Structure 1
């Protein structure tokens, strides 16, 4: 019986490349010339540092553009609401969602059941396993998951016949 896993993960290599490209773009921008601003990446968390809050928001936009250029879905970003002021810089943390939270997984399973597609879905840790008799049914679930607005991007792996 065909099966697949619905997961939510960010490619760490592409994320690191997007941060590096954001640093390069920051070095070339005239509105940041002579200003203290930087991107730091560590353990799926990007810390943005700038001299004021408005510049922090500009850094978020730069990062979002670079992520979309690297085919990383920007909806995986979880940006802090307020920037933290320390010394003469403001810093803003951007976390990236890894795995599907239980609440979102339950909503996804409910959406699959409500769609009347003839598949079985179950929550397996931080992923959702979907099995069905036809590949077409699994592909319909893929479309459904991509169109569902659950605040997080989904990928599909372990597609087996």
Structure 2
């Protein structure tokens, strides 16, 4: 039996599920009556989604479709960072939606401080874009997970490498 148990807190998303969600968005835009003739394009880049359409109203519709398709594929809404709406050529609008991945140092420090303050038997250490949490008891780790799920952080948290 292991002397200590641990898990990692990360902020990540399934890239293939995102590809599928964006593909469904493109298909719905092509088939929906109110969006069919708008020449709207939705392109998935490495760390962002680029939307180019004819009006802000259409852009809002694309946002709603994207959120809906992402939710159906178990992707958190917190991975989307909607950028500034820019005007493009020919009375069109463009927006870059950045994809958030990884826990920033500031949020990692907040998580680590919360764990240190509330759980004396549990240790938290920041490892790059993840936080490693370890304790002698699995039950303590379960309590930490439940407590962190109650908090509202600006990034989606996943708990991995539970050992």
TM-score range normalised by the length of the shorter chain: over 0.9
Cα distance, 1:118 vs structure 2: 2.0
Report Cα offsets for 1:129-159 as digits up to 9, x if no partner: 0000111111111112222111111111111
Please say if residues 146 and 153 of structure 1, whose CA atoms lie closer than 8 Å, have aligned partners that are also in contact. no
Determine the structure 2 residue equivalent to 1:44.
Answer: 47
Alignment equivalent of 2:140, drawn from 137, 141, 145: 137
Alignment equivalent of 1:110, drawn from 110, 113, 116: 113
Please say if residues 18 and 67 of structure 1, whose CA atoms lie closer than 8 Å, have aligned partners that are also in contact. yes
Structure 1, unmatched stretches of 5+, are: none
Secondary structure, aligned partner of 1:72: coil
Change (3 A) 1:117 1:136: farther
Q: How many residues align?
A: 159
Return the TM-score normalized by structure 2. Answer: 0.93
Alignment equivalent of 2:157, drawn from 154, 158, 161: 154
Please say if residues 18 and 63 of structure 1, whose CA atoms lie closer than 8 Å, have aligned partners that are also in contact. yes
Structure 2, unmatched stretches of 5+, are: none
Alignment equivalent of 2:85, drawn from 83, 86, 93: 83
Cα distance, 1:41 vs structure 2: 0.2
| 1:97 is aligned to 2:107 | no
Please say if residues 79 and 95 of structure 1, whose CA atoms lie closer than 8 Å, have aligned partners that are also in contact. yes
Secondary structure, aligned partner of 2:162: strand
Distance 1:145 1:95 in 2: 25
Return the TM-score normalized by structure 1. Answer: 0.94
